[in-house]
A = this chain, B = another copy of it.
Amino acid sequence: MIRSDGRRPDQLREVRLTPNAQVFAEGSVMIETGQTRVLCSASVEDGVPQFLRGAGRGWVTAEYAMLPRATVTRSPREGRGRGPRGRTQEIQRLIGRSLRAAVDMEGLGERTITVDCDVLQADGGTRTAAITGAYVALHQALTTLKTRNDLSVMPIRCAVAATSVGVVAGRVLLDLSYEEDYRAEVDFNVVMTDQGEYVEVQGTAEGGAFSRGVLDQVLDLAQSGISQLLQDQKRVIDSM
């Protein structure tokens, strides 16, 4: 047996998407993948940031944070010091770009949607879980706008979902848990659309390097995992 929780190398952890996790939000979902739990809520505000004003286009952005005891040992509450850490900023920029690939900004009009991704429990893959959940919250928020007749057409170009793939002890594994991620030699995060195209590919060798052959295996595994996640998203969206 290769993985501590008995999964096959190409097997995702169990995914659960629970809608309406924060009742006041225009869109909200709790995503759980294994022990990782991320609360994703989409908030709609009129207007756009300065650099877009008057262009007739909307904006989608994301914020990401972790509760202090989401992890095995407590981490100091971020931002009680001096602004979010580099890692946090990197992750929320990734989530924001991924969501913007999904939305037709002209169709959205001069509105800003902020998707907050708060990690309640962290067992690896929090940034990719956040993207997968955030898309569902975003979709629900757009549906809310359409139901209120603030939009006549859903400004969705495609669905997006994400997963991680890593190389651990020379084996390419899908959807790493924290314990696997910690030991990984290579770590990829892949974001794809439901048209089978890539939005982001981020691969890092932790203190080493990887061949093109490994890269190809990683992309194959990512694609198979993301296909399942896109179906999970669709199922919960259809049921809402």
Contact = CB atoms under 8 A, between A and B. Distances in A.
Interface stretch (A124-132, A204-212, A229-237): A204-212
A4 interface: no
A168 interface: no
Given A93-B86, A195-B209, A202-B201, A63 B68 contact: yes
Contacts of A71: 24
Interface string A114-138: 1010101100000000000000000
A148 interface: no
B158 A209 contact: yes
Can you tell how many copies of this chain the complex includes?
6
Interface in A64-88: 65, 67-74, 77-87
Given A24-B70, A197-B209, 11 more contacts: A23-B121, A24-B69, A25-B69, A39-B67, A74-B116, A79-B80, A86-B89, A89-B90, A101-B208, A105-B207, A198-B215
Range of interface residues on A (Cβ < 8 Å): 35 or more
Residue of A35, A118, A205 contacting most chain B CB atoms (<10 Å): A205
A70 B23 CA distance: 8
Interface in A184-240: 192-193, 195-212, 215, 219
A209 B201 contact: no
A97 interface: yes
A43 interface: yes
Contacts of A39: 67, 120
A203 B205 contact: no
Nearest to A105: B207
Contact of A101 (B72, B203, B209, B212): B209
A55 to B, nearest CB: 13
Nearest to A201: B203
A232 to B, nearest CB: 20
A179 to B, nearest CB: 13
A172 B65 CA distance: 36
A127 to B, nearest CB: 13
Contact of A90 (B35, B90, B215): B90
